Structure 1
Amino acid sequence: MEQTELSNGIQIIHAQNTFSKVGHIGVFIGVGSRDEVLGEEGVAHYLEHVIFKGTKKRKAYHVLSRLDAVGGELNAYTTKEETCVYASFPVDYLSRSIELLSDVLFNSNFPKQELEKEKEVVIDEINSYRDSPSDLIFDEFDKYLFKGNPLGNDILGTEQQVQSISRKTVTSFVKKHYVTQNLVISSVGNYSIQKLKKQIEKYFSHEANVSSPNKKRVCPQKIPLNDIVLKKNLHQTHTMLGGRGYSANHNNRPSLLLANNILGGPAMNSRLNLNIREKHGLTYMLESNCVMYSDCGSFSVYFGTDNKNTAKTEKLVRNELQKLCDKKLGTLQLSQAKKQVKGQLAISMENSLGVMLAHGKSMLLFNKVDSLDQVLKEFEAIDASQILDVANEVMAPSKLFKISYY
């Protein structure tokens, strides 16, 4: 893993591999939905769609076909704190991919007709979430947890907000945020960083702005939250228990991640899964999550279950949370938990696209990327008292509020 920087402030991180004929490269912009000001709601995500709708030298079809023609892919995503436009491609087409990414990021001309057409696509996307309570409840959770702060806004915006986005709003947002000092380029592939940098310099050598965009991010205030139960005439009840967690920069971040993995991580032997799904057969969908932003975070447990089993399932979830708060892990339990998370991390390194995305996100958040060995050492250093402390600080049932659809 190697890092370098262009004279205009664009940071580059590259992991060279020799086992794949496929490369991945992503341009990360340090702006997300929480950076939208009043009147801009939904524009960060909307841009993710419309930057592919034509540039000064390419129509929309030619943008989409440029990598498709050689079996590659062009894609993008938006979160609350970042936007990423990325390409996957046969390594022989590195130059083509970098040129295309530069073209859509810096030369998109946002044709008015395409802008209006894409609004309908985004509104359909919004409506698809409305029809999926297991997705919608996560947005509702953030809305209440971060009430009064842009972090609580839906990334997609509302139908009314999307309809009101003007071309001027789009171009102003790009001019303000899509600047070199706000960009990170992350890459994984079988080519050297020297070759990569040469191509990036060719297509990304734009002049640096006089100053970086001034992000006025405000950490959401903690407010008392009451339980919320909403009738939606569903076949199931969808429930989230949650509250505030840690930021990505918090010293106890690794301990909370390990505690969450023990409780309701992706493995089938998580405590929630073993007790509620395997032992009692009460739910198919069940997970716990830690979401960490630059200045704050959230913790939650989600489950969907038959209406008649909701109370029992919630009681079992709360019992598991309380156990983690009350009983310190034994030496063997802690060792097994560490071994599991270290194995999961090692396996994740086999996913080159995932590695590229993780590196880019890390550069935006921390201005560095830790090696796998460094991360594993952080987890190895955790003791049982730290797990108990973070559980009581973040996961205690008395500190969580509930939102439920039925």
Structure 2
Amino acid sequence: MIEEGILNNGIQVIHQQNTYSKVGHIGVFINVGSRDEEKGEEGLAHYLEHVIFKGTKKRKAFHVLSRLDSVGGELNAYTTKEETCVYASFPIEYLSRALELLSDIIFNSNFPNQELQKEKEVVVEEINSYKDSPTDLIFDEFDKQLFKGHSLGNDILGTELQVKSIKRSDVLNFVKKYYIPERMVISSIGSYPLKKLINYLEKYFEIKSTKIESQKRSLPKLVFPKDKIVKRDVHQTHTMIGGRGYSADHPSKNSLLLLNNLLGGPAMNSRLNLSIREKYGFTYMLESNCTIYSDCGSFSVYFASDPKNTFRVEKLIQKEFLKLCNQSLGTIQLSQAKKQVKGQLVISMENNLGVMLANGKSKLLFDKVDNLDKVLSEFEKITSTELLEVANEIMHPKKLFKLTFQSK
């Protein structure tokens, strides 16, 4: 059962108590990501996620990293386009230690200049590693085309030039603006009760509310990109075919998720996998994706293949798109598609860290966390007529564009 609370300073808390695990997971979610960066700040949200571990007013970087590691716990963080999360996994007897450490690095980091300069080199190496990975790079380029002129199209990591130009004052101003109680949610899962968690949080997260007015996010304009070919040093041809998807509050969001899973989800019996990889052996990497943001979304199919097979793979993908657009799922097909996606959801609930992260993100961005039974019932309500409508709105070839990385 998911329980909710709120601290005196306004930080929202969600907790899922289990009685069987000896491990706890807690994440502090901040409602800021790369889409919130202003011009000239690109890469700052992600860079801050790195340097937040580099020392506080009472701990040097080594002691920050060792505080949980020394008892077998883990400390980590990530940045997306819409949120930043700092989280910890720990043996439950170290709940207090984990919360105190999370509070210390989020509210008391002092960002020593020497550490800031050193971490710039680390982030630059991370950027360079992406440049060596066409599989990663093509997704960034796809977003640039789909959200052209909007911050959602920016790389989360920024560029080498941008990262190297970040000043300590930029970091401090960003923290002051966004790392505030009004923009935070704390998500937890563990065997301890909510009351115990709240008592510790009131002790360690007692920072005062700032009453800073939240900045509203701008909605990206609807654009229809043209097909694009990029020449790169690659052996295979890498291709993405896609376009706009749905936002988190769109009534047809779950219908699109079900279609995506049926078309090219993680299961080996997805339509794309059976019709392209298993039947012809044309590709090893092949998947379809739905990315859902608070106010918009994207849909895409990605594959990598030998250049001589690329055209045939594209035609086979288009054939599967048109099947979904022109042929309603039969009763048995629809039932099987629902069983599969519901089973995947049930299995995912066994991953406590994943559950904690999903709960926190949902509460932060959408101000709600649906329990599993409700989510499953929503998928059960989907009809074949709805799927046909969604397929024609999102997956019809006329509404998609193609991005290709070809050998020079």
TM-score range, shorter chain: over 0.9
Deviations 1:262-310 (A, max 9, x none): 1011111110011111111111100000101111100000000011110
Between the aligned partners of 2:355 and 2:211, the Cα distance in structure 1 is 32
Between the aligned partners of 2:174 and 2:247, the Cα distance in structure 1 is 26
**SS of equivalent to 1:220:** coil
In the alignment, structure 1 segments of 5+ residues that lack a partner are: none
Instruction: Describe how 1:41-120 pairs up with structure 2 within 5 A.
Output: 41-120=42-121
Between the aligned partners of 1:356 and 1:224, the Cα distance in structure 2 is 36
Partner of 1:220: 220
Q: Counterpart of 2:241 in structure 1: which amino acid? A: L
Between the aligned partners of 1:25 and 1:58, the Cα distance in structure 2 is 21
Deviations 1:316-369 (A, max 9, x none): 011111111110000000000001111000000000000000000000122110
Question: How far has the Cα of 1:178 moved from its partner?
Answer: 0.2
**SS of equivalent to 1:287:** strand
Partner of 1:397: 397
**SS of equivalent to 2:232:** coil
Partner of 2:290: 290
- Say if 1:248 and 1:296, in contact at 8 Å, map to a contact too: yes
Question: How far has the Cα of 1:66 moved from its partner?
Answer: 0.1
Partner of 1:365: 365
Between the aligned partners of 2:60 and 2:206, the Cα distance in structure 1 is 23
Question: How far has the Cα of 1:67 moved from its partner?
Answer: 0.3
Between the aligned partners of 2:169 and 2:216, the Cα distance in structure 1 is 21
Between the aligned partners of 1:149 and 1:273, the Cα distance in structure 2 is 33
Instruction: Let me know the Cα RMSD of the aligned residues.
Output: 0.7
Identity of aligned residues (%): 69
Partner of 1:38: 39
Question: How far has the Cα of 1:222 moved from its partner?
Answer: 1.2
Deviations 1:354-400 (A, max 9, x none): 00000000001221100000000100000000000110000111110
1:163 matches 2:164: yes
1:307 matches 2:316: no
Q: Counterpart of 1:64 in structure 2: which amino acid? A: L
Q: Counterpart of 1:105 in structure 2: which amino acid? A: I
Between the aligned partners of 2:365 and 2:181, the Cα distance in structure 1 is 16
Question: How far has the Cα of 1:190 moved from its partner?
Answer: 0.8
Instruction: Describe how 1:183-222 pairs up with structure 2 within 5 A.
Output: 183-212=184-213, 214-222=214-222
TM (norm. structure 1) is 0.99
Between the aligned partners of 1:172 and 1:87, the Cα distance in structure 2 is 25
User: How many residue pairs get matched?
Assistant: 405
1:122 matches 2:116: no
In the alignment, structure 2 segments of 5+ residues that lack a partner are: none
**SS of equivalent to 1:231:** strand
**SS of equivalent to 2:76:** strand
Instruction: Describe how 1:253-332 pairs up with structure 2 within 5 A.
Output: 253-332=253-332
TM (norm. structure 2) is 0.98
Between the aligned partners of 2:336 and 2:7, the Cα distance in structure 1 is 44
- Say if 2:241 and 2:301, in contact at 8 Å, map to a contact too: yes
Between the aligned partners of 1:190 and 1:279, the Cα distance in structure 2 is 48
Question: How far has the Cα of 1:139 moved from its partner?
Answer: 0.2
Question: How far has the Cα of 1:211 moved from its partner?
Answer: 2.9
Partner of 1:23: 24
- Say if 2:73 and 2:90, in contact at 8 Å, map to a contact too: yes
Q: Counterpart of 1:48 in structure 2: which amino acid? A: E
**SS of equivalent to 2:29:** strand
Between the aligned partners of 2:370 and 2:211, the Cα distance in structure 1 is 30
**SS of equivalent to 1:147:** coil
Question: How far has the Cα of 1:215 moved from its partner?
Answer: 2.2
**Segments of 4+ moved more than 4 angstroms:** none
Deviations 1:2-57 (A, max 9, x none): 00001211000000111211110000000000000112110100011000000000
